[in-house]
Amino acid sequence: MTEVTVEWYLRRAKFMLNLMPEDEMEDYGIDVKRIGKEPELDRGSDFAMLALMTKLGYQTVPEPLLGTFDKDGWLVYPDVEEAARLAGDPELHELFVTAKKTTLWGDPPEAYEAAVELYCRIQDLVEEIPPQPRREWKVFSTP
């Protein structure tokens, strides 16, 4: 079951980041004519990270990847940071934060580059990581 979930998250991320070719979309029953042409970096990054976190043993939650503020007021994602460390690629947290930077005027170019890099690295990592024991979410387990 875990492998199917990881695969689903990766496929969803690939679609959200506009990295999936039209013929592949049609294979999965995605109506190519009804989708937007702009990549959804925020959600695509979430799905990519959820693929990694699922592979690492985190259980799925209804609200994907909640952030919190550190003592200096910066938005951080403790669970993403921990997952990146567990996967052996601490830079994934920084890529994730950069990929989620959006403005009222759209996504900056570095956000798209970070989202694609995040997806590609995670795609490689989930192939290498063996199944893991269940892990608890930090954001949901702190009082």
| Digit-coded pLDDT (tens) for 4-45 | 589 989 998 999 898 988 888 888 877 777 776 778 888 899
With contact defined as beta carbons under 8 Å apart, do 104 and 28 qualify? Answer: no
**69 φ/ψ angles, rounded to the nearest 5 degrees:** -100, 135
Give the pLDDT of residue 143.
Answer: 37
Give the pLDDT of residue 118.
Answer: 97
DSSP summary character for residue 75: E
Task: Centre a 10 Å sphere on the Cβ of residue 102 and count the other Cβ atoms it contains.
Answer: 13
Pairwise CA distance, residues 1 & 44, whole Å: 22
pLDDT in tens, 68-118: 777 777 677 888 888 899 999 999 999 998 998 876 567 788 999 999 999
Which amino acid does the sequence have at 75?
L
Quick one: which H or E segment has residue 46? helix 41-55
Please check the confidence at residue 64 and state whether its pLDDT lies above 70.
Answer: no
Quick one: which H or E segment has residue 9? helix 2-16
Predicted TM-score (pTM) of the model is 0.81
Which amino acid does the sequence have at 55?
K
